[in-house]
């Protein structure tokens, strides 16, 4: 398996940008998969005419999944997400183009947990910051290490 190891990651490092087209089909599928039956996420007529929104929009689980995909694409198959904390500032609507960017804010020995990194991720739509996220991820220390094999409360440490 390929992917990043802790030695490949440094504070201040920029992650590659991900551009993601948010379609109505993806929003509806995400809402149904997460059992979020609010009409705000699947019924355009309700969202626009009753709730005064521009269109249907992404729910919390959709955005969480988008952050997870972004981090896994960057870190590889052995990247293990320990925590996501995010703040939704504005809605992400059907037909929006979401741009995700990230920066490593601390890594390795700088963390109390050891073998991981903290990533600041931003989700932008057009010129506005829609959601900001802080993620803690576990990464392999070397080619023979696998954070998914670690157990218990110390799983971030090798």
1 versus 25: the higher-pLDDT residue is 25
Alpha carbon of residue 24 to chain centroid:
20
DSSP 8-state secondary structure symbol assigned to residue 47:
I
Output the pTM of the full model: 0.89
The enclosing H or E element of 86 equals strand 80-88
Q: What is the share, in percent, of the chain residues with pLDDT greater than 70?
A: 91
Q: Summarize pLDDT for 30-68 with one digit per residue, the tens.
A: 999 999 899 999 999 999 999 999 999 999 999 999 999
Distance CA 133, CA 29 (A): 23
Name which residue leads in pLDDT, 116 or 46.
46
């Amino acid at each position: 398996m390929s992917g990043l190891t802790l030695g490949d990651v440094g504070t201040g490092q920029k992650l590659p940008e991900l551009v993601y087209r948010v379609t109505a089909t993806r929003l509806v599928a995400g809402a149904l998969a997460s059992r979020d039956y609010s009409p705000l996420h699947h019924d355009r007529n309700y969202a626009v005419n009753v709730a005064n929104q521009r269109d249907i929009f992404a729910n919390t689980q959709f955005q969480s999944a988008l952050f997870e995909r972004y981090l896994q694409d960057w870190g590889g198959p052995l990247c293990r997400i320990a925590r996501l904390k995010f703040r939704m500032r504005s809605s992400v609507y059907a037909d929006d183009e979401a741009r995700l960017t990230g920066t490593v804010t601390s890594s390795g020995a700088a963390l109390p947990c050891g073998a991981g990194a903290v990533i600041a991720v931003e989700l932008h739509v057009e010129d506005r910051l829609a959601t900001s996220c802080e993620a803690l991820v576990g990464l392999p220390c070397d080619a023979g290490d696998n954070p998914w094999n670690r157990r218990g409360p110390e799983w971030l440490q090798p």
